[in-house]
């Protein structure tokens, strides 16, 4: 005689939440772990990100290169074949002037594009696309990621660009 398979009722097949979900989901601890008490605002996050990225690029890379250019010390790599002085001037433009533009949020996408070009040259040409070891380009790679993110998102509402476009960021904050 063939055995007949007995199926449990459909309601028994429904997925049951695990104990951690039941205990934490609606409780104070759950809200604390999800950081629900912090406001979510994409435009504020873009402001912090722009200022942080621009200020660190300006202080750590752009300003020293600008002083070097003004002192007349123009020895610099020439990856584009335009001469060391022109290459240094382009690096100063991207790392100093465009960093200031990023911080205030003016011509943000163009400034980020200049940063993308400069960090791509630094990572691939000066550091040989190495992410570890001696003379690696890890920092240039991280800056490159930041510039790509700003190029894709734009400046956000708290910027000179955002005030002009009346729309702010296209990112939407999650409602609690």
Which residues in 42-71 are b (16+ Cβ under 10 Å) and which e?
bbebbbebbbebbeebbeebbeebbebbee
91 or 17: whose pLDDT is higher? Answer: 91
Would you state the pLDDT for residue 87? 95
Per-residue confidence band for 17, with pLDDT thresholds at 50, 70 and 90: low
The mean pLDDT value of the chain amounts to 85
Would you state the pLDDT for residue 33? 80
Report, as an integer, the average pLDDT of 12-32. 62
Give percent above pLDDT 70 in the chain: 77
Per-residue confidence band for 34, with pLDDT thresholds at 50, 70 and 90: confident
pLDDT tens, 53-72?
Answer: 999 999 999 999 999 999 99
């Amino acid at each position: 005689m063939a055995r007949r398979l007995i199926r449990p009722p459909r309601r028994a097949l429904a997925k049951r939440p695990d104990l951690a979900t039941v205990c934490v989901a609606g409780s104070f601890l759950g809200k604390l772990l999800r950081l629900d008490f912090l406001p979510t605002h994409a435009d504020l996050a873009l402001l912090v990100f722009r200022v942080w990225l621009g200020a660190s690029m300006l202080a750590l890379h752009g300003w020293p290169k600008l002083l070097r250019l003004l002192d007349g010390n123009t020895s610099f790599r020439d990856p584009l074949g335009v001469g060391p002085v022109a290459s240094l001037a382009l690096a100063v433009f991207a790392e100093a002037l465009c960093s200031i533009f990023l911080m205030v949020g003016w011509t943000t996408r163009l400034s980020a594009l200049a940063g993308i070009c400069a960090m791509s040259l630094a990572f691939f040409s000066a550091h040989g696309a190495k992410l570890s070891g001696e003379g690696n380009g890890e920092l240039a790679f991280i800056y490159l990621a930041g510039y790509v993110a700003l190029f894709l998102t734009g400046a956000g509402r708290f910027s000179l660009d955002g005030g002009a476009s009346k729309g702010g960021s296209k990112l939407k904050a999650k409602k609690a």
